[in-house]
């Protein structure tokens, strides 16, 4: 860790001390609440703690498992802190930010962040909003500008950005495909990944069917049943627990100017991700780190095209240059910025970004199945196209 500026007060105050997940499947056969409880208990056990030690819970507004149901089922007693973060997968790192702030402020000692759903066997986001009941509140009414025209799925929303990005920077479908190939290569050696043992080639990607041009099937992440939980405690307490702490160097949220859900099409330019640029600036400012200090990345990959502008917004390459950065092999295990070493959401599982945070913890612990040496500080991002969040996790100083 190299510090260039004085870190902010949140930096180093908290750490992730435990991670736990269910298996990742296409049909769990269990309730979402049960998945949440299994993940929470696994994470608490991994941290070497008891459920009765937990006094805070944080999840997504999108999660169906209220804190009270999780607490009463798992033997967590009183809760001193509970909070929800909105905007779909943009919430992922935001849950850890909530937990870290609560721990740093002393309002809670042990906060578990969790996300659990039957996203494949139950309500599938990939099928879109077209036939979902909506209301006339501002969020529901926002769909009025899309779904009557047939633009109603996440893949379609992202495709609009991707087409413009290709037009302005000369990127191609193959440039998107290289992201999928890297993810699937890493998933292939990860026994927890759905696509364990099933790498793909760029030719496979190019042969896969169109979903929403310019997105092919293999540009789209899978849909998953499962649960993932993370235990956040103070860095000081984490030092007494079984695993090496994954210290929260920085935790940030960001919503851009003229922000919409997945359809921020009305800004002067739509080839960047300004809300993620904001998250990046916050992460570097809080931690005192710079892009060159970051040794590995877990970048939100619901759809490959938006991985490219993430690399640009976070300062790993110049605007429009991400395709070259990727083609040069920098996301591979031996590259400049090993990325999505668990296989990402394309390869391991779609857990709304929470499984990526767990992988960053493993990278810091040195226990990833695809461990690229000692990467030092690891950057993690959450959902793109939505108000989002990010983390930098690092080893204890």
Q: Which residues are catalytic?
A: 300, 350
Q: Which is nearer to other proteins, 75 or 140 (CB)?
A: 140
Cα→Cα distances 255→110, 129, 385, 388, Å: 28, 22, 10, 7
Q: For 232, how many CA atoms within 13 A lie in the half-sphere containing its CB?
A: 33
**CA 361 to chain centroid:** 13
- 144 near other proteins (CB under 8 A): yes
Reference 368, options 306, 320, 300, 296; nearest CA is 296
Rounded to an integer, what distance in angstroms lies between the CA atom of residue 305 and that of residue 310? 9
**What φ, ψ does residue 52 adopt, rounded to 5°?**
-70, -15
Question: Shortest approach of other proteins to residue 130 CB, angstroms?
Answer: 4
Binding residue (CB under 8 A) for other proteins from 16, 159, 233, 349: 159
| Pair of tokens at residue 304 | 């490959």
What is the smallest separation between the CB atom of 259 and other proteins, expressed in angstroms? 11
Query: Which DSSP string do the residues of 34-76 spell out, in sequence order?
Result: HHHHHHHHHHHHHTT--GGG--EEEEETT-SS-HHHHHHHHT-
Work out which of 31, 73, 121, 134 binds other proteins, going by CB under 8 A.
Answer: 134
Q: Which is nearer to other proteins, 79 or 217 (CB)?
A: 217
d(CA 320, CA 332) in angstroms, rounded, equals 20
Is residue 128 within the footprint of other proteins (CB under 8 A)?
A: yes
- Describe the strand order of the beta sheet including 111-118 as a list of residue ranges: 81-85, 56-60, 111-118, 225-234, 14-21, 246-254, 388-394, 377-381, 294-298
Which residues neighbour 121 within 8 Å (Cβ) at sequence distance 6 or greater? 26, 27, 28, 29, 225
Interface with other proteins includes 206 (CB under 8 A)? no
| Minimum CB distance to other proteins, residue 280 (Å) | 24
Between 5 and 139, name the residue whose CB sits nearer to other proteins.
139
Question: Should residue 126 be labelled a site residue for other proteins when binding is judged by CB under 8 A?
Answer: yes
> How do strand 246-254 and strand 215-216 relate by DSSP bridges?
unpaired
Residue 145 as a binder of other proteins (CB under 8 A): the answer is yes
Taking residue 143's Cβ as centre, other Cβ atoms within 10 Å add up to: 18
For other proteins, give the closer residue by CB, 149 or 334: 149
170 touches other proteins (CB under 8 A): no
User: Looking at beta carbons only, is 6 or 209 nearer to other proteins?
Assistant: 209
Distance in Å, CB of 25 to other proteins, minimum: 22
Cβ-based nearer residue to other proteins, 204 or 396? 204
Q: Which is nearer to other proteins, 169 or 284 (CB)?
A: 169
Q: Whose structure tokens read 């364990």? A: 196
> In the set 97, 98, 153, 368, which binds other proteins (CB under 8 A)?
153
In terms of Cα–Cα distance, which of 88, 160, 91, 155 is closest to 126?
A: 155
Task: Give least dist CB 135 to other proteins, A.
Answer: 6
Is 320 a binder of other proteins (CB under 8 A)? no
Which part of the chain contacts other proteins (CB under 8 A), choosing from 2-10, 25-33, 156-164, 293-301? 156-164
Segment near other proteins (CB under 8 A); pick from 47-55, 71-79, 138-146, 243-251: 138-146
Minimum Å gap between C-beta 205 and other proteins is 16
Residues at the interface with other proteins (CB under 8 A)? 126-131, 134-138, 140-153, 156, 159-161, 163-164, 167, 209-214, 258, 263, 265-266, 270
């Amino acid at each position: 860790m190299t510090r260039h500026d004085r870190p902010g007060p949140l930096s180093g105050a908290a750490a992730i001390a435990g991670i736990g997940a269910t298996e990742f499947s296409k049909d769990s056969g269990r309730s979402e609440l049960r998945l949440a409880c299994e993940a929470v208990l696994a994470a608490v056990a991994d941290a070497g703690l008891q459920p009765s030690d937990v006094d805070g819970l944080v999840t997504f507004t999108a999660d169906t498992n209220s804190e009270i149901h999780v607490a009463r089922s798992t033997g967590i007693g009183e809760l001193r802190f509970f909070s929800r973060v909105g905007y779909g997968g943009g919430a992922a790192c935001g849950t850890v930010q909530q937990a870290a702030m609560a721990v740093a402020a002393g309002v809670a000692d042990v906060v578990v962040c969790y996300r659990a759903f039957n996203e494949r066997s139950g309500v599938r986001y990939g099928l879109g909003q077209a036939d979902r009941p909506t209301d006339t509140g501002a969020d529901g009414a926002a769909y009025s500008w899309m779904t009557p025209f047939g633009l109603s799925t996440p893949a379609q929303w992202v495709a609009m950005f991707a087409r413009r990005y290709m037009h302005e920077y000369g990127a191609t479908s193959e440039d998107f495909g290289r992201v999928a190939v890297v993810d699937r290569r890493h998933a292939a050696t990860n026994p927890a990944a759905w696509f364990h043992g099933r790498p793909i080639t760029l030719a496979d990607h190019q042969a896969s069917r169109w979903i929403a041009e310019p997105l092919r099937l293999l540009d789209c992440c899978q849909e998953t049943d499962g649960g993932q939980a993370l235990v956040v405690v103070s860095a000081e307490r984490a030092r007494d627990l079984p695993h090496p702490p994954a210290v929260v160097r920085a935790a940030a949220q960001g919503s851009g100017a003229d922000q919409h859900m997945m359809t921020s099409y009305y800004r002067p330019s739509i080839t960047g991700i300004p809300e993620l640029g904001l998250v990046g600036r916050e992460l570097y400012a809080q931690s005192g780190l710079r892009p060159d200090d970051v040794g590995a990345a877990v970048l939100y990959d619901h759809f490959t095209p938006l991985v490219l502008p993430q690399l640009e917004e976070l300062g790993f390459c110049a605007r429009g240059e991400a395709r070259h950065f990727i083609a040069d092999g920098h996301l591979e295990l031996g590259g400049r910025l090993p990325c999505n070493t668990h296989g990402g959401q394309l390869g391991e599982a779609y857990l709304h970004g929470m499984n990526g945070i767990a992988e960053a913890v493993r990278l810091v612990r040195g226990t990833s199945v695809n461990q690229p040496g000692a990467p030092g500080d690891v950057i993690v991002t959450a959902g793109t196209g939505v108000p989002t969040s990010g983390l930098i996790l690092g080893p204890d100083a």
